[in-house]
Amino acid sequence: MRDFFDILDNHVLVVSLIACLSAQLLKVVFELIYHGKINVRALVETGGMPSSHSALVTALAVCVGQVQGWASPDFAIAVIVAGIVMYDAAGVRQAAGKQARILNQIIDELFREKPEFNEDRLKELLGHTPVQVIAGSALGVAIAWITAPTY
């Protein structure tokens, strides 16, 4: 059991998770500001402002750079993974969300006369805008720098 709690001593992991959770909490705040109501679902939904995926992988990369060194292979791997995740969040997943929106419109129009057709709607908010990805990334960098270890 002690080995399990040793995970909490992993600065890189803990800071990355804090960045991710902070982004998810900020989504609730942004929902309150933009829509005037608290949306607790924002804590577990994908998409929205800021990108928690971007915050997580950016904090991970910065922490790895701080701990292992900016010229380390570990930092290089973390940066490459962060780039892929952020590209996917703003590119592929955003496009899938747009396609879902169009497919939902087609289903609504085709089956307007047949209300017995009851298919689940596709999830439309899958990805992020570039601004949401950049905001998440900035949050990840800020949290990593604020919590930098002092060796």
How big is the CA angle at 19 (ends 18 and 23), to the nearest 5 degrees? 115
The whole-number pLDDT of residue 128 equals 75
Residues 77, 82, 146: CA angle, nearest 5 degrees: 100
- Show Cβ contacts of residue 141 under 8 Å, excluding neighbours closer than 6 positions: 58, 59, 62
**Residue whose token pair is 């990840």:** 140
Name the token pair of 125: 């908010």
Q: What per-residue confidence (pLDDT) applies to 113?
A: 67
> Consecutive sets of 10 residues in the chain, 151 residues long: mean pLDDT of each?
82 96 93 86 82 96 96 98 91 69 73 63 66 95 89 54
What is the per-residue pLDDT for 53? 92
Task: Output the pLDDT for position 141.
Answer: 97
Q: What is the pTM of this model?
A: 0.77
pLDDT value at position 140? 97
Whole-Å CA distances, 149 to 31, 100, 145: 33, 43, 9
Cα separation of 18 and 35, whole Å?
Answer: 26
